[in-house]
A and B are shown apart, each in its own frame.
Chain A
Amino acid sequence: MLELRNINKRFGPETALESVSMEIGAGEIHGLVGLNGSGKSTLLNILFGSTTIQETGGYDGTYLLDGRVRRFSSPCQAIRCGIGMVHQEFALIPEMTVAENILISREKGYPFIDALFPRQFSLVDRTSSAMAARQTLHRLNLDLDPDQTTGRLSMNVRQFIEIAREISRDDLRLLLLDEPTAILNTADTDQLLTTLRSLADKGIAILFVSHRLQEILQLCDRLTVLREGRVVSCCAARDSSIDTVTRLMVRESVVKVSRTQRHTDSPPILSVRDFRVRMAGEELHGLDLDVHRNEILGIISLSGHGKLAFGAGVIGQVPFCGRLRLAGEDCSSSPCAAMIRKGLFFLSEERSQLGLLLQHTIMDNIVFAALHHNKRFHHPHWPHWLQVPDQKAIRRHAEHCIAEYDIRCTGPLQSVGNLSGGNQQKVRIAHALTLSPQLLIVNEPTRGIDIAAKERILNLFLDVNHSEGTTIVIASSELDELKRICDRIAVLYRGRLHAILDPAADDLLFTQAISGEPVLQ
């Protein structure tokens, strides 16, 4: 029923999907697995006609639905063709009732008024809407008052409402499920899987994306494994085991651990206890972690399990609860500025949104924070309180940085917006190091960067750590990079510390730890 042929998708210089082909038949449940960044969400976005795909330049390849070529430019069109999607971060409207959410755009009307007025202008029949909603919820074995507001319900109930919205459609042909079981407990998961099975028996095709391999193997007829935007395997679920699939998901690579030095016994520079950060989509629910002086600590987790929230919480971008000690001092409620003065700096994963002043020059960007937090670049002849910048010193420093960090540009006065991603990242690191911080927290330092710049940046971290003794924490989803430069790697799962592993450990062990399976050390 659904057929994809050679789908290619690029985001700027980065390739997200490379000649992906797959087929799903009517009544088939097809599993889609892959690590973060393997292109699963991009594929779902293409299937559902998400507008971000159009805005970033569309995709190449053929998308056939029932033998007809489709190219959706908005989800509306996809929905009209019978595609439904269950979103990971719910497309529910919390202010509206359960019935309204389930039946949105398919509200039941009174037949008499429907005949009298155009469809859009006919009154919604609340009782029959509630009835229809209740029936759908019954199919999911959920007894719930359809007239209550959705926002007050618990997360797993909302997940079921999200599913109910899709299965209540009569014209549903293809259902896309993005991690529907991530927040469900075992009983609820079983309930969901049964429902999906019965849906498939009615001839609806289902594409099921999950990180839980067990479910996939249990539920699906066939499964496709994505790795780095490519289909590495497409096989029947019966013939696979968790072990084989995991091996397919992880790239077979020989990683040389380049670090031999160990600092784990030095005193902690930063320690957090019961650290909770409410960052949208990346929550931490009580993390206990020590960062030792002079080490490079890696943090890895699936997206949504909290690795990005660590730095944001520590610096104060997002408020946190719990205890935080920096260099032995308790600073549980310090604003950003105070943390920076104490020698901490944070580079967010949002390179262009939160990382740079794109319209300003390289020079301005490099010295921006330093200009504010120390007197290094203040003009010596003017009183300090006037904060007159010493342009010559700034320029000298910028030129030094450009040479030192190998920033490819036309000069310190070039606008940062015109640089490539890798060079922008180097400017950010130069910016951070201009402050000479004791502790640097970096989120996703190599995301969206070409291979040469990646190497350069990783080496830069090693150099700085070695020569200046800067402690570095790197939160990243690139396991092999972390393994190359880190002294220890912390694995987070569901917002908590799951394990601290040695970088030399086996890839398989890492993969298991990341997906939450118990790890024995």
Chain B
Amino acid sequence: MNAPRQHIPQLVIALFLALMMGGAIWLKIPLSWVINDALVRLAMNGVLVLSLVPMLNAGIGINFGLPVAVVAGLLGMCLTVNWKMTGLTGFVAAVLMAAVIAVIFGSVFGRILNRVRGREEITATFIGFSFIPLTNFFWATAPFTNPAMLWPIGGKGMRPTIGLKSSFAKILNDFLPLEIGPFVIPCGLLLFFACSCLLVHLFFRSATGKAMQAVGENEGYARLCGIDIDWMRQLATILSTVIGAVGICVYAQSYGFIELYDAPMMLAFPAASALLIGGSIAGRTSVLNVIIGTFLFHTMYILSGPLANDLLVPEMAEIFRLLLTNGVILFAMLHAGGRNGKPCPAM
């Protein structure tokens, strides 16, 4: 196996990160700010990235249909905000409701993906894309009553961004913060992320998790061993959707706002990119890949902003992030797929 080739994206990113770090120090961007932000962003986006793991390991591929999961999470949060649940209760209620909705969405989504074997990624992409305008329809007409969520004028239809300050904004971020000098370590947030990672890790150690991995690695073999492949794939999709829904709850509470309408459309790509930077190999993606990838990707994300501002054109940061996001995924595609790129079974 060509191990060094697998790690090209990681090496490039790490090198790049080092360069950027140098730049940041040169520009006297405070290191504590970078690290604090990096930790928050790691945990904030980490759960979303984690949500890709079950589907990837079950051989369905990268879940570009992440918007489906995100919408489930948004629905859960909107319901709690509508019922004016606040604080920790609000957050727990949001997560639970999001999970329930995600189970429903995920089982339908999984059933669809079982029909399109071999081209799940493209189908998931377009299911995600088309799901967004569909939910826009819903947001514009939904019978929510809390005026904090509705357009101030007319009182009909949801606002594009809903502030969570009065409900559960930063509830995890501000739970058990550990201050060491200039560094603030958001223990609550990190703990939540670590627990999710642990749960996923333990799942893949159980018999079902192993079966799911086997389906991803070798479908024919799994079938011969009497494993219900369709069910395993559906289960993986449900899991991915549930984790994704929880992920957006974590993201929103940290960000302080719920973003509706077109906001979730492109969420899948940075998440996928982060996972691939982490060195994920289809079928054998571990939680470690998630943590490394998210950390590298988002630290770079943080640094690119002030650097581009100070050095070049401000828009450059955004363009550059997109370039990197899509470049990494494309690189992975060209290396994983097709007849020429297929990893040979080791003899």
Report A's interface with B, CB cutoff 8 A: 12, 315, 317, 335-341, 346, 348, 350, 352-360, 364, 368-369, 371-373, 378, 386-389, 415, 417-418
Task: Contact check, B223 vs A357: say whether CB atoms are below 8 A apart.
Answer: no
Q: Name the distance in Å between B203's Cβ and chain A's nearest Cβ.
A: 10
A356 contacts across to B, CB distance below 8 A: 218, 221
Task: Contact check, A388 vs B224: say whether CB atoms are below 8 A apart.
Answer: no
Picked from B223, B283, B284, the residue with its CB within 8 Å of the CB of A317 is B223
Name, among A339, A350, A357, A387, the residue most crowded by chain B CB atoms within 10 Å (CB to CB). A357
Task: Contact check, B217 vs A336: say whether CB atoms are below 8 A apart.
Answer: no
Q: Mark B182-223, 1 if CB is under 8 A from A, else 0.
A: 000000000000000000000001111011011001101101
Task: Contact check, A357 vs B218: say whether CB atoms are below 8 A apart.
Answer: yes
Q: Name the distance in Å between A495's Cβ and chain B's nearest Cβ.
A: 22
Task: Contact check, B347 vs A336: say whether CB atoms are below 8 A apart.
Answer: no
Task: Contact check, B206 vs A389: say whether CB atoms are below 8 A apart.
Answer: yes
Task: Contact check, A418 vs B211: say whether CB atoms are below 8 A apart.
Answer: no
Task: Contact check, A315 vs B206: say whether CB atoms are below 8 A apart.
Answer: no
Given the known inter-chain contacts A12-B347, A357-B218, A358-B346, please indicate yes or no for A336 contacting B207, CB distance below 8 A.
Answer: no
Name, among B206, B208, B213, the residue most crowded by chain A CB atoms within 10 Å (CB to CB). B206
Task: Contact check, B210 vs A368: say whether CB atoms are below 8 A apart.
Answer: yes
Binds A, one of B18-26, B114-122, B225-233: B225-233
CA distance A386 to B223 in the complex (A): 22
B211 contacts across to A, CB distance below 8 A: 372
Q: Name the distance in Å between A264's Cβ and chain B's nearest Cβ.
A: 29
CA distance A371 to B221 in the complex (A): 15
B226 contacts across to A, CB distance below 8 A: 335-341, 369, 372-373
B181 within 8 A of A: no
Given the known inter-chain contacts A387-B208, A389-B205, please indicate yes or no for A369 contacting B220, CB distance below 8 A.
Answer: no
A-B contacts, CB under 8 A, total: 82
B218 contacts across to A, CB distance below 8 A: 353-354, 356-358
CA distance A339 to B223 in the complex (A): 12
A368 contacts across to B, CB distance below 8 A: 210, 214, 225
Q: List 18 A-B contacts (CB under 8 A).
A: A317-B224, A336-B223, A336-B226, A338-B226, A339-B226, A341-B226, A348-B224, A352-B345, A354-B221, A354-B224, A357-B214, A368-B210, A369-B225, A369-B226, A372-B226, A387-B206, A388-B207, A389-B210
CA distance A73 to B146 in the complex (A): 71
CA distance A369 to B214 in the complex (A): 11
Residue of A nearest to B344 (CB): A55
Task: Contact check, A355 vs B221: say whether CB atoms are below 8 A apart.
Answer: yes
Task: Contact check, B210 vs A364: say whether CB atoms are below 8 A apart.
Answer: yes
Q: Name the distance in Å between B336's Cβ and chain A's nearest Cβ.
A: 14
Residue of B nearest to A353 (CB): B220
Task: Contact check, A315 vs B224: say whether CB atoms are below 8 A apart.
Answer: yes
CA distance A347 to B225 in the complex (A): 10
Which B248-296 residues have a C-beta within 8 angstroms of A? Answer: 283-284
Q: Name the distance in Å between A353's Cβ and chain B's nearest Cβ.
A: 7
Picked from B205, B214, B220, the residue with its CB within 8 Å of the CB of A350 is B220
CA distance A356 to B207 in the complex (A): 17
Q: Name the distance in Å between B114's Cβ and chain A's nearest Cβ.
A: 15
Task: Contact check, A386 vs B221: say whether CB atoms are below 8 A apart.
Answer: no
Residue of B nearest to A382 (CB): B206
Q: Mark B95-127, 1 if CB is under 8 A from A, else 0.
A: 000000000000000000000000000000000
CA distance A339 to B347 in the complex (A): 31
Picked from A336, A341, A373, the residue with its CB within 8 Å of the CB of B224 is A336
Residue of B nearest to A13 (CB): B347
Residue of A nearest to B228 (CB): A337
Q: Name the distance in Å between A73's Cβ and chain B's nearest Cβ.
A: 14
B225 contacts across to A, CB distance below 8 A: 336, 340, 368-369, 372
Residue of B nearest to A339 (CB): B226
Picked from A352, A364, A386, the residue with its CB within 8 Å of the CB of B206 is A386
Given the known inter-chain contacts A317-B224, A337-B228, A350-B220, please indicate yes or no for A417 contacting B210, CB distance below 8 A.
Answer: no
Q: Name the distance in Å between A169's Cβ and chain B's nearest Cβ.
A: 28
Picked from B208, B221, B228, B347, the residue with its CB within 8 Å of the CB of A357 is B221
Q: Name the distance in Å between B128's Cβ and chain A's nearest Cβ.
A: 29
Task: Contact check, A389 vs B221: say whether CB atoms are below 8 A apart.
Answer: no
Q: Name the distance in Å between B249's Cβ and chain A's nearest Cβ.
A: 26
B224 contacts across to A, CB distance below 8 A: 315, 317, 336, 346, 348, 354
Task: Contact check, B220 vs A354: say whether CB atoms are below 8 A apart.
Answer: yes
Residue of B nearest to A424 (CB): B347
A358 contacts across to B, CB distance below 8 A: 217-218, 345-346
Residue of A nearest to B211 (CB): A372
A418 contacts across to B, CB distance below 8 A: 346
B347 contacts across to A, CB distance below 8 A: 12, 352
A355 contacts across to B, CB distance below 8 A: 221
B223 contacts across to A, CB distance below 8 A: 317, 336
Residue of B nearest to A352 (CB): B345
A-B pairs, 7 with minimum CB distance: A337-B226, A387-B207, A417-B346, A340-B226, A354-B220, A369-B225, A336-B226
Residue of B nearest to A391 (CB): B205
Residue of A nearest to B346 (CB): A417
Q: Name the distance in Å between A251's Cβ and chain B's nearest Cβ.
A: 27
Q: Name the distance in Å between B296's Cβ and chain A's nearest Cβ.
A: 24
Given the known inter-chain contacts A336-B224, A346-B224, please indicate yes or no for A371 contacting B210, CB distance below 8 A.
Answer: yes
Q: Name the distance in Å between A19's Cβ and chain B's nearest Cβ.
A: 24
Task: Contact check, A372 vs B217: say whether CB atoms are below 8 A apart.
Answer: no
CA distance A39 to B317 in the complex (A): 61
B208 contacts across to A, CB distance below 8 A: 387
A336 contacts across to B, CB distance below 8 A: 223-227
Residue of A nearest to B220 (CB): A354
B228 contacts across to A, CB distance below 8 A: 335, 337
Given the known inter-chain contacts A350-B220, A357-B214, please indicate yes or no for A372 contacting B346, CB distance below 8 A.
Answer: no
Task: Contact check, A337 vs B221: say whether CB atoms are below 8 A apart.
Answer: no
Residue of B nearest to A358 (CB): B345
Q: Name the distance in Å between A286's Cβ and chain B's nearest Cβ.
A: 24
CA distance A339 to B224 in the complex (A): 10
CA distance A360 to B283 in the complex (A): 11
CA distance A335 to B230 in the complex (A): 13
Residue of A nearest to B202 (CB): A388
B221 contacts across to A, CB distance below 8 A: 353-357
CA distance A341 to B205 in the complex (A): 23
Q: Name the distance in Å between B137's Cβ and chain A's nearest Cβ.
A: 40
Picked from B213, B227, B346, the residue with its CB within 8 Å of the CB of A337 is B227
Task: Contact check, B345 vs A372: say whether CB atoms are below 8 A apart.
Answer: no
CA distance A337 to B220 in the complex (A): 13
CA distance A338 to B221 in the complex (A): 16
Q: Name the distance in Å between B58's Cβ and chain A's nearest Cβ.
A: 14
B205 contacts across to A, CB distance below 8 A: 388-389
Residue of A nearest to B206 (CB): A387
Q: Name the distance in Å between A511's Cβ and chain B's nearest Cβ.
A: 32
CA distance A389 to B202 in the complex (A): 11
Picked from A337, A359, A364, A373, the residue with its CB within 8 Å of the CB of B283 is A359
